Amino acid sequence: HFSLSVILLFILISVVQCWTPPTYNETVIEAFFQKTWLDPIQINSNPYVNGTINVTIPGSVCALIYNDTSRQFYNLKTYNSSDDAEKDGAFVTHANPCGACSSTIDLAVYMSRPDLTDPVRKCGLESLVSPKIALACIEKIGFTPECSKIWLYNELNTKSKCFSPCIFDWAVGMPNNVPVNSTTLNPCLQCDEDQSGPIFKSFAGRTRRGSGLLSAINRPPDQIYQVTHYYY
């Protein structure tokens, strides 16, 4: 006979496998674009240079607290768990602590642009001319200024650490996942994941996966945080 714990485990696995991240319409996206974060987190230096990584609390979440009835202005706060956030009347916006990309504007960018690999890569190439030009390019994608900084630093680090696999994958038109329908990353993306991902996640706060959003890069279902965004 199956024990109760085994049955509960099967139920939990089934729920994880059955959950499908929703897509969001223009009404939701535009509403998030129009909101104002009252205390944005600043990126004052390149974290890939000083090598300091913030400690991520297991199970921690970043949640939004509105300051007015019109839901126009908000603050963000890191909670130890989603339960703690909900008890405080806050809306969970992504897994892991808040960071420079935790704003609703950056959320709206992720919602509206499922494929950011090529646009950001093109901006990264601009860094060969000038990092300032590359930063302006990233901001034109729609990211907030502070979020754009961590994206730029991520691209500079990846260019330094992953140049060979990335230039090869770009030259041959390698798909994001190899094989195409798998969740295995191509060599460039895997190098970026290993060499730049941990610091990016630590300082950006919001990632697409951590925000419960799908992208042009296939990810294992258990890596996509189960959260929805209907608090606009």
Q: Which tokens belong to 72?
A: 């126009």
**Angstrom distances, CA of residue 25 to CA of 30, 31, 104, 161, 225:** 9, 10, 15, 37, 20
Q: Which of 157, 150, 158, 152 is nearest to 126 (CA)?
A: 152
pLDDT digits (tens, 9 = 90+) for 6-51: 555 555 554 445 789 999 999 999 999 999 999 999 999 999 997 6
Torsion of CA 52, 54, 56, 60, to 10 degrees: -160
4 has a pLDDT exceeding 70: no
Distance CA 219, CA 200 (A): 17
User: What is the pLDDT at residue 221?
Assistant: 93
Q: For the chain, give the percent of residues with pLDDT over 70.
A: 90
175 has a pLDDT exceeding 50: yes
pLDDT digits (tens, 9 = 90+) for 60-110: 999 999 999 999 999 999 999 999 999 999 999 999 999 999 999 999 999
Instruction: With cut-offs at 50, 70 and 90, classify the pLDDT of residue 128.
Output: confident
Distance CA 203, CA 147 (A): 9
User: What is the pLDDT at residue 15?
Assistant: 47
pTM: predicted TM-score of the whole model, two decimal places: 0.88
User: What is the pLDDT at residue 50?
Assistant: 76
Higher-scoring residue by pLDDT: 15, 118: 118
pLDDT digits (tens, 9 = 90+) for 131-140: 999 999 999 9
Q: For the chain, give the percent of residues with pLDDT over 90.
A: 81
